[in-house]
């Protein structure tokens, strides 16, 4: 009998490997650009013709290759990056398998020109379908220039499978973006059919993100940073209101390499839980740094799925890091208040004791008197901002809310004020002037946030306040609904409820004082509704209850508020950790900027 097993010729083996590594033109770009990065380049240019079908060219100014290396680089398992199996556990380079060039050369017409800085002459190699056509000395710039033509020319099935040029080019762009977002210190350019798509100068990370996605993205991002012994997490996360239904702008990187990580994605989503409408995806650019021997990048041929040794712990750290970053968005209005960089909105609560300024009012002040005259005599009025000593605190707290410094130019009588200038509009919004314009607060959503925080707080605090029902009302419920209330009962008790469960009804015997004016039936209906809606979300039942009650208990639209009430909403809102969003993720605060106002009076 004849033996059947034969070794495949190299060219065939390479083609098979190519099937795995090179799925489409974008994969070639990824491999070549990563090689250019590994070569220490600081300028990398990519030229594409016809979605990569006709030409893919990558030019770098990196270390280049010797004559022999240029030839060797196309051998299977030829790599300068690892020498033994142990090296696999401390990979710092983008590539390491040594199969990319061999694969590409087996399914395309490849021309390589390369020169090391120290060599006078470079070398040019042409390989087509794994066969070396020629190699000769050339004069060329130092660095490496790969030109790939006729991709998949000898694999008709693959070539046919390619989508139209614009689809392939979209894939190229997303591979390109994943790489450039990791290397802001490298200059990149991308051209398609001779037109420039990207020209990215060296920059810092934030600038790079803005060069790639447009300037408009920058104000929508907050930075995150967490440093622990097992991992460093840094980068940027997007404002909840800029979240979109589609996926795309979610990026994880590990040690400067793009990765997909559904589990970590979940950690991010958890952090956004209470502030993002269901089905929306936030933007994020999150960079992890971890010791290479605590991760395994070897589990997938295209190396985008990565396993971490401490996944569980990192999940927690990521979640809290993102939460902390989200907290920064509360300071968005503070950008407006920012006059001296010391304004910290959350301290502006009723209980944070500070002394209002003593303002001298000159009742005889005559605004028609000229400035000279008025200053020649004793000052007739003084502005709080000038009373440095007594008002230091005050100034810091109110820097943004107050009569702004511009008003110094217009002589006005300043009346003593402990509170903000608050106005109500249409029984719906609370308005107040701030440094940057006119702030509008949605009264109902603001109150929802305030109540939500106080309910969440009562879970953790021992001294629970509860109020007895004067006329306990019996509410009839179906069997299913009764079961739900029964399940929620512990949480309800923690919130200050006392509910008596009967066979076919419940009676609310006591409730949290915030819900004093709310019809018990409405509370129970809301709870049940929310539970059914949120059955498949991972909001905790407790949070669900808190949301329902906040919605039920919040001041309604149309309710006229007194000055004191508005002040209370205002103070308490800014004492919450997240004043900008209601617990269901809706916007609470909006500011009409000074520019917009000026525009109207043009
Ligand atoms: P890997 O990147 O996994 O090592 P590749 O097949 O992508 O394998 O590349 C093989 C080798 O060719 C690399 O290890 C490197 O030594 C060399 N090489 C490839 N591209 C470049 C480049 N642009 N500049 C310098 N050397 C390169
Ligand atoms: Mg490589």
Pocket test for ligand 1, best of 38, 72, 76, 112 (most atoms within 8 A of CB): 38
- pLDDT tier at 437 (50, 70, 90 boundaries)? confident
Task: Kindly list the protein residues whose Cβ atom lies closer than 6 A to any atom of ligand 1.
Answer: 31, 35-36, 39, 60, 62-65, 73, 78-81, 95-101, 144
Q: How far is the CA of 185 from the centre of ligand 1 (A)?
A: 20
- Three-class DSSP category at 535: coil
Residue nearest to atom 23 of ligand 1 (CA): 36
Q: Which ligand lies nearest to the CA atom of residue 30 in the structure? A: 2
Most confident option among 181-185, 328-332, 361-365, 419-423: 181-185
Atom of ligand 1 nearest to the CA of 104: 6
Q: Which two tokens stand for residue 185?
A: 């210190």
Q: Which ligand lies nearest to the CA atom of residue 40 in the structure? A: 1
Q: How far is the CA of 30 from the centre of ligand 2 (A)?
A: 9
| pLDDT of 259 strictly over 60 | yes
Atom of ligand 1 nearest to the CA of 100: 6
Residue nearest to atom 17 of ligand 1 (CA): 73
Most confident option among 207-211, 369-373, 433-437: 207-211
Q: Which ligand lies nearest to the CA atom of residue 96 in the structure? A: 1
pLDDT for residue 85: 61
Task: With CA atoms as reference, report the closest residue to 168 among 80, 259, 58, 49.
Answer: 49
Q: Are 260 and 305 in contact (CB under 8 A)?
A: yes
The alpha helices in 338-495, defined as continuous H runs, are 371-376, 392-398, 443-460, 479-494
- Three-class DSSP category at 581: strand
Q: Which two tokens stand for residue 379?
A: 């000052």
Residue nearest to atom 1 of ligand 1 (CA): 98
Q: Which two tokens stand for residue 290?
A: 């971890």
Q: How far is the CA of 95 from the centre of ligand 1 (A)?
A: 8
Q: How far is the CA of 96 from the centre of ligand 1 (A)?
A: 8
The vertex-357 CA angle with 356 and 363, nearest 5°, equals 120
Q: Rounded CA gap, 37 and 175, in Å?
A: 14
Q: Are 214 and 250 in contact (CB under 8 A)?
A: no
Crossing angle (nearest 10°) for helices 25-38 and 165-180 = 20
Q: How far is the CA of 265 from the centre of ligand 2 (A)?
A: 27
Q: Which residue has the higher pLDDT, 189 or 458?
A: 189
Could you list the beta-strand ranges (E) of 72-194. Answer: 109-115, 122-128, 131-138, 143-149, 187-192
Atom of ligand 1 nearest to the CA of 64: 25
pLDDT for residue 91: 59
| pLDDT of 70 strictly over 60 | yes
Pocket test for ligand 1, best of 35, 65, 72, 122 (most atoms within 8 A of CB): 35
- pLDDT tier at 578 (50, 70, 90 boundaries)? confident
The arithmetic mean of pLDDT across residues 30-44, rounded, is 95
Atom of ligand 1 nearest to the CA of 99: 6
Residue nearest to atom 20 of ligand 1 (CA): 35
Q: How far is the CA of 144 from the centre of ligand 1 (A)?
A: 10
Q: Which two tokens stand for residue 600?
A: 């109207």
pLDDT for residue 81: 62
Q: How far is the CA of 20 from the centre of ligand 2 (A)?
A: 14
Atom of ligand 1 nearest to the CA of 36: 23
Q: Rounded CA gap, 599 and 560, in Å?
A: 31
Q: Rounded CA gap, 227 and 123, in Å?
A: 46
Sign of CA dihedral 449, 451, 452, 453: positive
DSSP secondary structure, 460-473, as one string: H-S----EE-SS--
| pLDDT of 195 strictly over 70 | yes
Residue nearest to atom 8 of ligand 1 (CA): 98
Per-residue pLDDT tens over the stretch 489-502: 887 887 788 888 88
Q: How far is the CA of 75 from the centre of ligand 2 (A)?
A: 12
Q: How far is the CA of 32 from the centre of ligand 1 (A)?
A: 8
Q: How far is the CA of 71 from the centre of ligand 2 (A)?
A: 15
Atom of ligand 1 nearest to the CA of 35: 20
- pLDDT tier at 46 (50, 70, 90 boundaries)? very high
Per-residue pLDDT tens over the stretch 335-346: 333 333 333 333
Per-residue pLDDT tens over the stretch 458-484: 766 656 677 887 778 888 888 778 888
Q: Which ligand lies nearest to the CA atom of residue 39 in the structure? A: 1
Q: Which ligand lies nearest to the CA atom of residue 74 in the structure? A: 1
Residue nearest to atom 16 of ligand 1 (CA): 80
pLDDT for residue 273: 82
Q: Which ligand lies nearest to the CA atom of residue 98 in the structure? A: 1
Q: How far is the CA of 181 from the centre of ligand 2 (A)?
A: 18
Q: What is the residue-averaged pLDDT of the chain?
A: 78
Residues with CB under 5 A from ligand 2 (ion): 35, 95, 100
Q: Rounded CA gap, 240 and 329, in Å?
A: 9
Q: How far is the CA of 88 from the centre of ligand 2 (A)?
A: 14
The arithmetic mean of pLDDT across residues 51-73, rounded, is 95
Helix (H) or strand (E) holding 510: strand 505-511
Q: Rounded CA gap, 56 and 29, in Å?
A: 7
pLDDT for residue 145: 98
Burial 91-114 (b: 16+ CB within 10 A, else e): bebbbbbbbbbbbbbbbbbbbbbb
Residue nearest to atom 5 of ligand 1 (CA): 98
| pLDDT of 265 strictly over 90 | yes
């Amino acid at each position: 009998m004849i033996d059947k097993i034969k070794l495949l010729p190299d060219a065939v083996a390479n083609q098979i490997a190519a099937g795995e590594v090179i799925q489409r033109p974008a994969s070639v770009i990824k491999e070549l650009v990563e090689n250019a990065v590994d070569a220490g380049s600081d300028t990398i240019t990519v030229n594409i013709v016809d979605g990569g079908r006709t030409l893919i060219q990558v030019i770098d100014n990196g270390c280049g290759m010797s004559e022999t290396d240029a030839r060797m680089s196309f051998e299977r398992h030829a790599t300068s990056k690892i020498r033994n199996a142990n090296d696999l556990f401390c990979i710092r380079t983008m590539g390491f398998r040594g199969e990319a060039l061999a694969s590409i050369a087996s399914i395309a017409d490849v021309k390589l020109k390369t020169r090391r800085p120290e060599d006078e002459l470079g070398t040019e190699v042409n390989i087509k379908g794994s066969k070396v056509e020629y190699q000769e000395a050339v004069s060329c710039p130092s660095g490496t220039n790969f030109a790939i033509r006729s991709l998949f020319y000898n694999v008709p099935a693959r070539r046919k499978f390619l989508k139209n040029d614009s689809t392939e080019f979209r894939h190229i762009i997303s591979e390109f973006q994943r790489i450039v977002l990791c290397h802001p210190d490298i200059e990149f350019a991308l051209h398609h059919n001779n037109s420039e798509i990207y020209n990215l100068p060296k920059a810092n990370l934030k600038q790079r993100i803005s060069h790639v996605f447009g300037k408009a993205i920058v104000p929508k991002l907050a930075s995150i940073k967490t440093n622990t012994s097992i991992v460093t997490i840094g980068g940027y996360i997007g404002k909840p209101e800029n979240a979109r239904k589609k996926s795309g702008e979610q990026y994880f990187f590990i040690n400067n390499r793009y990765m997909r990580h559904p589990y970590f994605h979940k950690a991010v989503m958890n952090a956004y839980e209470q502030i993002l409408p269901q089905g929306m995806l936030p933007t994020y650019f999150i960079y992890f740094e971890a010791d290479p021997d605590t991760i395994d990048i070897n589990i997938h041929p295209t190396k985008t799925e990565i396993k971490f040794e401490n996944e569980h712990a990192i999940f927690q750290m990521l979640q809290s890091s993102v939460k902390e970053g989200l907290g920064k968005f509360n300071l968005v209005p503070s950008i407006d208040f920012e006059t001296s960089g010391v304004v910290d909105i959350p301290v502006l609560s009723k209980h944070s004791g500070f002394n209002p300024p003593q303002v001298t009012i000159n009742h005889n002040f005559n605004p028609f008197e000229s400035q000279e005259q008025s200053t020649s005599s004793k000052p007739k009025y003084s502005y709080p901002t000038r009373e440095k000593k007594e008002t230091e605190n005050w100034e810091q707290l109110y820097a943004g809310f107050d009569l702004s410094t511009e008003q110094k130019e217009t002589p006005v009588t300043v009346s003593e004020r402990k509170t903000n200038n608050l106005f109500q509009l249409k029984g719906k919004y609370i308005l107040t002037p701030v440094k940057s314009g006119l702030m509008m607060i949605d009264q109902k959503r603001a109150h929802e946030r305030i109540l939500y925080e106080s309910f969440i707080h009562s879970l953790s605090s021992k001294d629970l306040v509860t109020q007895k029902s004067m006329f306990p009302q019996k509410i009839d419920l179906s069997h299913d609904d009764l079961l739900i209330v029964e399940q929620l009962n512990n949480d309800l008790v923690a919130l200050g409820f006392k509910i008596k469960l009967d066979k076919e009804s419940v009676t609310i015997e006591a409730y949290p004082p915030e819900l004093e004016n709310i019809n018990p039936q409405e509370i129970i209906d809301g709870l049940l509704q929310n539970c059914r809606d949120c059955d498949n979300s991972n909001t905790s039942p407790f949070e669900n209850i808190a949301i329902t009650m906040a919605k039920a208990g919040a001041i309604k639209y149309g309710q006229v508020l007194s000055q004191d009430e508005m002040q209370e909403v205002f103070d308490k809102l800014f004492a919450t950790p997240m004043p900008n969003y209601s617990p269901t993720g809706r916007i609470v605060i909006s500011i009409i900027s000074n520019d917009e106002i000026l525009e109207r009076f043009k």
